[in-house]
Amino acid sequence: MTKAIILATCAVCALPAFCQAVAGRDAFIQQQAYAEMQRVSGLIDVLQNNIDDLAQRISKLERANSSDETAALSSRIAALEGTVASLRRELQQQRGEIVKDLSSRIAKMPQPKPQPAQQTKEQSQPDGPYKEYVVATGDNLWLIARAFNTSVSKIREMNNLKNDSLKVGQTLKLPVEQGGSK
């Protein structure tokens, strides 16, 4: 019987600690359940806000797509497209008139000719005798070559020119015909 008394005494002594442990575990589980319930509740609130926002957007889109508003916008777009087309035609016509006017003015302008009076002395170099010519306004290699009875390629070669660009005041070497000068 002593064994039974000892066991009963142990059970009576351990019972409060056991009850407290069970109560502590239950309290922990309750806290975890409460925290999970709050998290889920927060997610539900976010979802509800998103649903409300989407419903407002859908409503706004439905109002914007009403047939009256769409028709009004379509007519405004058509009117603007017509205005743009009209302005393009007018611009094209004005461009044509400007080109025609400039063409007639250019055709009426006298073509400048090289002025041989700007020649200086005759000199000699390995390529043969040459004249120096100072480029005047309106000169180009073709006109100079024609005036001095030579070729554009010969002028380029004698002056080491890489292209046909000339500058007013530039001095060019021009070949002199053998047996006399022009």
pLDDT in tens, 67-92: 667 778 888 888 989 888 888 899 88
**pLDDT of res. 129:** 82
Residue 158's closest CA among 141, 181, 146, 139? 141
Residue 181 lies in a domain: no
Residue 14 has pLDDT above 50, yes or no: yes
Residues 5 and 49 placed together within one structural domain of the fold: yes
Edge-to-edge order in the sheet of strand 171-175: 122-125, 128-134, 171-175
Domain that holds residue 57: 1-65
Instruction: Name residue, tokens 């005798």.
Output: 129
Cβ atoms of residues 116 and 132 within 8 Å: no
Q: Is residue 156 very low, low, confident or very high in pLDDT (cuts 50, 70, 90)?
A: very high
What is the Cα–Cα distance from 173 to 139, expressed in whole angstroms?
14
For CA atoms 83, 84, 88, 94, give the dihedral sign. Answer: positive
Residues 132 and 165 placed together within one structural domain of the fold: yes
Residues 96 and 137 placed together within one structural domain of the fold: no
Residues 93 and 42 placed together within one structural domain of the fold: no
pLDDT tens sequence across 102-112? 777 777 777 66
Q: What is the domain count for the chain?
A: 3
Average pLDDT over residues 129-136: 89
Residue 182 lies in a domain: no
Residues 86 and 61 placed together within one structural domain of the fold: no
Residue 17 lies in a domain: yes
Residue 170 has pLDDT above 60, yes or no: yes
Residues 20 and 35 placed together within one structural domain of the fold: yes
Residue 121 lies in a domain: yes
Residue 25 lies in a domain: yes
Residues 12 and 61 placed together within one structural domain of the fold: yes
Residues 1 and 57 placed together within one structural domain of the fold: yes
Alpha carbon of 168 to those of 88, 133, 134, 140: distances in Å? 41, 11, 8, 10
Residues 56 and 73 placed together within one structural domain of the fold: no
Residues 56 and 3 placed together within one structural domain of the fold: yes
Residues 55 and 101 placed together within one structural domain of the fold: no
